[in-house]
Amino acid sequence: MAMKPKVYVLDPYHKDAIALLRSTDWIDLILWDDSRKADWQKDAVGVMLRSDTRLTGSDFRLAAAAGNKLRVVVKQGVGVDNIDLAAAAAAGVAVHNTPALNSESVAEFSLALALSLSRRVTEIDRRVRQGEKVARSRVLGLSLFRKTVGVVGMGNIGRIAARKWIGACESRVLAYDPVAPRGVWDREQIPHTRVGSLEELLREADVVTLHVPLLDSTRGMIGGRELACMKDRSILINASRGGIVDERALLEELRRKRIWGAVLDAVEVEPPTLEAYGDFLELDNVIITPHIGASTIENQSNSGLAVVRTLLAVLEGKDDVPGKLV
């Protein structure tokens, strides 16, 4: 009898995704809490992962040395900076992601973060929990109604974020993306002004929300010079990837309290620790969360199921499986 292909799930997935895998009787399933996971390179035919695990060139070389059994890697979400794509291509391994599925949740969370900061929700909550009597006249928030929102990155998340800002706050939207085709939002009738430079957006926006992947061209794109361009009492949102914002420069800007503050769901050290971000967390004008923009019950179920269906389709030899990167 032919051996069943071994599928390794390297990171925790939603129970619905695991149920679908368990119901697939032609695979041998190894989950993240199984001791065999440590040696997955020896016999994995398919691999599922999230952002918690990195697949390096060494991993792909070990898999190839074991007989080149590995056929496909599927990552939940859009970002694949934790996978060495060049090494995967060299080893003949297909890499897929799940584009667009996280967009609604991430856009929703970026809006929630900005409103929480502007109305000082987390700051006031902490003070109440500490037993402080809070004088309302001393904790005035900042209204974002009909303010200008600058969306950096005009992909799926940026598009949905723009719609949410318009619907929730009647925002004027500026958009910047050096590679998106001309008129990319026009067919969806999203009212916006597309600017020709990041600097122009930063100088006009009351809220700057980042929705770009981490690439050589975007690493450090918001540094000291860019932060200095931002308006007084403006808000910076990074719900995309750590590394896009120069965190040292941001810390200095937050300490000056010229801008209203920053909300960060993506930082360079993930998950964020007190050791790495203690200086940030001493400040009231910053909110840091551990990259949970996509973490809703609904999204984790849908995304996990999409990963499983993608992996199974590749192993079944189907053509035109969505999300292929390599």
Cα–Cα dist 290/299, whole Å? 17
Judged by DSSP in three states, 208 sits in: strand
Cα–Cα dist 132/122, whole Å? 14
Residue 68 makes CB contacts below 8 A (sequence gap 6+) with: 91, 92
Cα–Cα dist 326/86, whole Å? 8
Catalytic (active site) residue 270: yes
Catalytic (active site) residue 275: no
Backbone angles phi, psi at 82, to 5 degrees: -90, 10
Structure tokens at 301: 């179920």
Query: Which helix (H) or strand (E) covers residue 152, if one does?
Result: strand 148-152
How many helices (H) and strands (E) in the chain?
A: 11, 12
List the catalytic residue out of 61, 163, 203, 270.
270
Q: Residues 290, 78: contact at Cβ < 8 Å?
A: no
Catalytic (active site) residue 226: no
| Other Cβ atoms closer than 10 A to 32 | 16
Closest CA to 105 of 150, 50, 167, 161: 161
Structure tokens at 112: 């929630």
List the catalytic residue out of 291, 298, 309, 316.
291
Query: Which helix (H) or strand (E) covers residue 238, if one does?
Result: strand 235-238
List the catalytic residue out of 211, 241, 247, 253.
241
Q: Residues 218, 79: contact at Cβ < 8 Å?
A: no
Q: Residues 7, 47: contact at Cβ < 8 Å?
A: yes
- In angstroms, what CA-CA distances link 189 with 165, 182, 185, 215, 239? 14, 14, 6, 29, 24
Structure tokens at 220: 């450090």
Helix axes 15-22, 297-315, angle to 10 degrees: 30
Give me the active site residues, please. Answer: 241, 270, 291
